[in-house]
Structure 1
Amino acid sequence: MKERSAKYGIGDVVKHRKYPFRGVIYDIDPVFANTEEWWLSIPEGTRPSKDQPFYHLLAENAETEYLAYVSEQNLVADTSGAPVRHPQVSEIFTRTRNGSYKMKSQSRH
């Protein structure tokens, strides 16, 4: 598999192209790095290619907050400017003026 550079970065707010959820990126895998079982659970006709970045999101939809793992081809930038309400966002990030998020500094021991 050939790696590609990630289009989005940690702290960017994105939304799914097809499904009604959005979130803030907290980690990136340069290529698919989940289980084969997870991969095969995606319907074959909509299964994304493994040789692209996959993003870990602190995600939300209208009903709940959760963690999501999404291929780059299924994401677009969320330009709404609305804050992400996932409860872990404030533990990991501070919100910037432009609506994205910046990782909090981690203290060194």
Structure 2
Amino acid sequence: MKTATARFAIGEVVRHRLFPFRGVIFDVDPEFANSEDWYEAIPEEIRPRKDQPFYHLFAENAETEYVAYVSEQNLLNDESGEPIRHPQVDEVFDWVPENKRYAIRPGLEH
């Protein structure tokens, strides 16, 4: 199986194509790497392909903050220019307002 190149990078702020949430990417899987139960719980009519990058996000919606796992086909660039309020973001990233994205905090790069 051919592995796709990720379109989005760690530190980018993105939003979901179908659902009202946004987040910052903190990890990328080159293809689906979650459980079959998780995958099967997605309604078939919106279930994403497995052969694409999947992104781990510090995510937020109007009510709460959480960690999300989202396929590349369901992500769009977030054009708001606003930082993410998720409480774990500051443990990993520094906000770079002129770039409207995050940079990994010094000492955490690998």
**What is the TM-score normalised by the length of structure 1?**
0.95
Residue of structure 2 equivalent to 1:5: 5
Residue of structure 2 equivalent to 1:47: 47
Letter in 2 for 1:48: P
**SS of residue in 1 equivalent to 2:28:** strand
Distance 1:88 1:72 in 2: 22
Residue of structure 2 equivalent to 1:70: 70
Distance 2:2 2:50 in 1: 10
> Superposed, which structure 2 residues align to 1:14-53 within 5 Å?
14-53=14-53
Runs (5+) with no aligned partner, structure 1: none
How many residue pairs end up in the alignment? Answer: 107
Residue of structure 1 equivalent to 2:99: 98
**SS of residue in 2 equivalent to 1:95:** strand
**SS of residue in 2 equivalent to 1:58:** strand
- Deviation track 1:22-77 (CA, whole Å, cap 9, x = no partner) reads 00000000000000110100011111000000000000000000000000000000
Q: What fraction of aligned residue pairs are identical, expressed as a percent? A: 61
Runs (5+) with no aligned partner, structure 2: none
**What is the TM-score normalised by the length of structure 2?**
0.94
TM superposition shift of 1:106: 2.1
TM superposition shift of 1:105: 1.9
Letter in 2 for 1:101: Y
Please give the root-mean-square deviation of Cα atoms over the aligned residues, in Å.
0.9
